[in-house]
A and B are shown apart, each in its own frame.
Chain A
Amino acid sequence: MQDGQEFGPWLGRQLRRQNMSQAELAERLGLTRAAVSAWITGRAQPRAEMVRDIASVLGTDIATVHNRTTDAVTARPVRWYHRPAHADGGREFGNAAAFAFDADLAVLAREATQNSLDERLDTTQPVRVRFTLHELSGEHLSSFLSALKWEQLEAHYEAASESRQKVGRVLAEGLREMQETNSLLLLRVDDYNASGLTGPEYEDGRFAAVVRRQLDSHKSSDRAGGSYGLGKATLWATSRLGLVLINSTLSESHEGRTTRRLVGRLDLPWREVNGSPYAGPAWLGEADTEKDFEGVSRSWWADEKTASELWLERESAAPGTSFLIVGAHDAAGDADSLQEMHDKLSAALADNFWAAMTAGSSANAMLEASVCTMRNGSLVIPERRVDPRERHSALVRALRAYLDHETVPELTASEEVAYARVPLVVPPLRNTGRQAKGVEHQAVLLVTSADDEDQQHSRLVCMRGSRMTVMTRRPRDLGIGVDPFQAVLLAGYATGEGTEDVHAAEAFLRASEPPEHDRWGTTDELTATYPGASRRLTEFRAAMDSALREIVGRRPTRDVRGPEVLRTLLRLDIPASGGGRRADGHPVVRSVEGEVDAAGAWSLRVFLKIPPREDPWLLTPVAKFDVRSGGRPTLSWSELTAVENCRIVDGVVVIDPEVRSAAFGGVTAVGSHPVSATMAGVTVDIQKARGASA
């Protein structure tokens, strides 16, 4: 499947790699320099016997020259290239984009996965994303650092960490921790069935967008959604060393090759090492041989051994990219241990991508995500697919019913999913002239009962594109007493439909999102592009609420009667004002313990809570059997004993003055039991002794 590169460019690169001039090659082949130049510029092709000689001069076999899928000599030295400071002396304090984010694993999971979704290759299959936490220590750490050529970085790190800027502090902390604990955390993010980092080294393309530029959002389709220019910066932000290694398998060949395109990039602030000033990034790769970039480290086609040593080897030939974040951490601070980080990643994936991970019985999911954790090459927490149902079962149920065409118009059972359409009128573009008409898009509303475990409910989750959540709104005017529900609004491509209105709605809604892509509102772009856009959005929101109300709202009630002013004064459910205070005004039974004794009597211990006062309380304890209905039969006491803070006088419990608690014991008289004590529950109540002064 690998198409060989054109002969001319291939030969040119081989010469540069071997520091051989065209004249030198011509001389070794016994030809004129013009003949070689004709090959390199593509004006001519060498004859078959000449190919053998070329192979011989380049020190390789004939097949390599024929196929041109590999370089003749692969072993050019891989090294770190640190970009020298600008001649104008400007000092950049680190990668602005990276430090715009606080490193938060949840944000990383969201941004990195959204990038993978946007780069999905075969859209009939899910893109697979895997997050691997990997802690290295001891020998494993040493061999990794040596593969990484740490010796070429150390001096730069030390210099950069002396910076008083925030980036310097982060670096110093990262270095200190690595030295003190002798361990380093790697976080690898793999995707499969994605485009991979295609394109040339420096010019426009996916590779350059990620590796060379800072805020370039190279998007392959208009389905993309998130803040991906910034999104990739979260990769570097998650590394407290500012260091990310990359291995990509390309979906379209570059230089005739697709597999194991490796590169490393380090973002450091201005620093001076050995008297030379450096600014910004450093790259790990082969020294470039092209004239304009001579000496710059460029991506290289690595062998399996190198990839393995750098923990970058991919599990299959499927296209996609592996990012290895070196020195990963969670600055949000709520995930310290490996387990907590593992769980946080899983939760973030479930929360942000439950929709993309939801499959129908015939429709594949858009995304499969998993998380695993390793230590020194061994599994600690085995790889586990994130199951969106675990955290969002009601929402997943709603979407799945839609994918499977199992929705109903009205909810009658709690597992059911109601379906309705919500119109969005997309105005015509300003530049299409007066006659152009808007199109009406029918967004999809799905509603189901909330599950008992749901933390959030009764909100409307709004999605477009690859079913990414743009916002979660609290619907208005649903009326009171609505049972908790979950609702999803699918607009544009999220509907899974492909009609014209879908494209129009997707474009319209994307234009309505601010850079954070977290709401549909009026933006400069929107008003510049669409006339009357603001009103259409307002109508759209009202239509959502109205459709939702239709499904979850209570039926309008006509049995509410009487003037409100009177009804509020006659409510039976409000507790008596000040009732709580008064309840403390008299002794109450706090708890009762006891058992049926050998004689068949209840032997009880009763604990009382007493409001202290100067006079003793006189209380009559009353034991009763519990009953199915009606009055409870009172039992007689055969014995009453004081236990704490009280005396028994003629069947009356006399509580000592000024105490807060008291306890007494009592044994019921078996003859007063209407049924065997083993057959009935017993209760104890206390009443003021009759005739006793209050």
Chain B
Amino acid sequence: MNTLFPYPTLVGEIEVRVKQVRIDGKPLSLSVVSRPQRAVALHQVERPNWEDGSIDLEVTLPELELADGPWSEVACVAILTEGSTNTRVVRRLQRDRLSSTWSGSVPVLRAMHRDRATLNVSAVATVGGVAGRTIGTADEAWIIDLLARTPVRQREIEIAEADFRDGPQEWLRPFKDAPWLVETAGEMPTILLNSSFEGITQLLKGSGNPLEKAASGLVAAQIAGEAWTAMFHSAVADLELDDDGAPLIPSGWRESVLRTMLPDVLPGLALADALIEVHNRHAAGYGWAELQSQIHFAASRRAQVPKNLTTAVRAITRSQEGATR
């Protein structure tokens, strides 16, 4: 969706490069920075209790466009935010006259961040007599991950092994006979594999003969299908509403889940319409039950159930043929 502004904004791109990362004054290996992923991983096994980090940036603004345009008092600011700590740190960058780039350093204070901060850059200028107008923002923000050791943008659904029967997590005891559990209440959905359920983890690591592989694929598809269903329900239940009661597209994994599944759940509807429809049915209960088969279909499609089932059927057929020969 493109936004129309009541004043001229920049057409050209704003490019952001992370030049150096330091914690407590010590420069980190550049392997913590990924330019293609636009991600920085700040977690250091060797230095878990750091306090004071900084990220050096270099930014290129569309200088030619700026020079000819109606903007004055142009400033370039780096904005580091993290929703969970309500932290917002804004730093002005300095323009280098020779290279026409803007550069500066953004502080990352450990006490003010929890796990993932977002770093973006905006150009700000006086336009039409109004100071401080945002006239452009980098297309994609950088991710500053304080817990990751590798700089990756996309977070993954967590898969963890836990001993449901004798493990330290008391609340899992009631599920001791379940081979797995899908948990969507946390910040990221988690799939807990019950290590006290004999054979499940070995089965999923399944290599070896085609039959074992097929079984592994089938179980994985079933777990994934349940996970997608649970995630979809959770995302729909957690929808936030607009001023006029319309559901907002959520952020994070919920957005990914809804975007990928809604076209299968309510085919033929635009995302916004599908969101309204699914929210209304969930909130009012009307037609919610009827939607379940669609949700199930969408989830099994994500989990590649048909493909894995076909593979399993073929493997079994072949093994039987082998036995009769």
Interface range on chain B (Cβ under 8 Å from partner): 35 or more
Asked whether B269 lies within 8 Å of A586 as measured between CB atoms, the reply is: yes
User: A194 to nearest B CB, angstroms?
Assistant: 36
Contacts of A212-247 to chain B: CB distance below 8 A: none
Contact of A567 among B3, B159, B244 (CB under 8 A): B159
Q: Cβ of B209 < 8 Å from any Cβ of A?
A: no
- Asked if A572 meets B155 with Cβ closer than 8 Å, knowing A483-B36, A585-B268, the reply is yes
Residues of chain A within 8 A of B204, CB atoms compared: 563, 565-566
Q: Cβ of B206 < 8 Å from any Cβ of A?
A: yes
Which of B67-75, B108-116, B253-261, B289-297 lies at the interface?
A: B253-261
Q: Cβ of A596 < 8 Å from any Cβ of B?
A: yes
Asked whether B273 lies within 8 Å of A688 as measured between CB atoms, the reply is: yes
Contact of A631 among B2, B216, B242 (CB under 8 A): B242
Asked whether B268 lies within 8 Å of A694 as measured between CB atoms, the reply is: yes
A585 to B271, CA, bound (A): 11
Which of B170-178, B298-306, B314-322 lies at the interface?
A: B298-306
Q: Cβ of A151 < 8 Å from any Cβ of B?
A: no
Contact of B17 among A452, A566, A588 (CB under 8 A): A452
A623 to B301, CA, bound (A): 35
Asked whether A631 lies within 8 Å of B15 as measured between CB atoms, the reply is: no
Residues of chain B within 8 A of A43, CB atoms compared: none
Chain A: residues with Cβ within 8 Å of the partner, total of 68
Question: At the interface, is chain B mostly helix, strand, loop or mixed?
Answer: mixed
Asked whether B2 lies within 8 Å of A592 as measured between CB atoms, the reply is: yes
A554 to B31, CA, bound (A): 6
CB-based nearest B residue for A450 = B35
Asked whether B227 lies within 8 Å of A596 as measured between CB atoms, the reply is: no
- Asked if A683 meets B34 with Cβ closer than 8 Å, knowing A481-B152, A631-B243, the reply is no
Asked whether B34 lies within 8 Å of A415 as measured between CB atoms, the reply is: no
User: B277 to nearest A CB, angstroms?
Assistant: 9
CB-based nearest A residue for B254 = A572
Asked whether A562 lies within 8 Å of B191 as measured between CB atoms, the reply is: yes
Q: Cβ of A32 < 8 Å from any Cβ of B?
A: no
Q: Cβ of A64 < 8 Å from any Cβ of B?
A: no
Q: Cβ of A434 < 8 Å from any Cβ of B?
A: no
Q: Cβ of B33 < 8 Å from any Cβ of A?
A: yes
Q: Cβ of B220 < 8 Å from any Cβ of A?
A: yes
Asked whether A483 lies within 8 Å of B30 as measured between CB atoms, the reply is: yes
Contacts of B244-277 to chain A: CB distance below 8 A: 244, 246, 248, 253, 256-257, 259-261, 263-264, 267-270, 272-273, 276
Contact of A634 among B3, B205, B243, B259 (CB under 8 A): B243
Residue-wise interface mask of B (159-199) relative to A, using a CB-CB cutoff of 8 A (1 in contact, 0 not)? 11000000000000000000000000000000101000000
- Asked if A573 meets B256 with Cβ closer than 8 Å, knowing A484-B36, A681-B3, the reply is yes
Q: Cβ of A598 < 8 Å from any Cβ of B?
A: no
Asked whether A483 lies within 8 Å of B160 as measured between CB atoms, the reply is: no
User: B180 to nearest A CB, angstroms?
Assistant: 9
- Asked if A577 meets B224 with Cβ closer than 8 Å, knowing A483-B33, A582-B268, the reply is no
Asked whether B2 lies within 8 Å of A554 as measured between CB atoms, the reply is: no
CB-based nearest B residue for A631 = B242
- Asked if A570 meets B6 with Cβ closer than 8 Å, knowing A576-B264, A588-B270, the reply is no
A51 to B158, CA, bound (A): 103
Q: Cβ of A571 < 8 Å from any Cβ of B?
A: yes
A588 to B29, CA, bound (A): 46
Contacts of A498-517 to chain B: CB distance below 8 A: none
Contact of B2 among A414, A558, A570, A683 (CB under 8 A): A683
User: A253 to nearest B CB, angstroms?
Assistant: 50
A135 to B51, CA, bound (A): 67
A168 to B151, CA, bound (A): 62
B-side residues, CB < 8 A to A, are 1-7, 15, 17-22, 27-31, 33-37, 56, 130, 148-152, 154-160, 191, 193, 201, 204-206, 216-217, 220-221, 223-224, 227-228, 240-244, 246, 248, 253, 256-257, 259-261, 263-264, 267-270, 272-273, 276, 301-304
| A–B complex contacts, Cβ < 8 Å, 12 sampled | A484-B36, A563-B205, A569-B223, A577-B301, A586-B270, A586-B273, A588-B270, A631-B243, A632-B243, A679-B6, A683-B2, A685-B1
Other A-B pairs, 7, CB within 8 Å; known A569-B303, A571-B154, A685-B1 = A413-B27, A555-B29, A561-B159, A563-B205, A569-B304, A578-B263, A682-B6
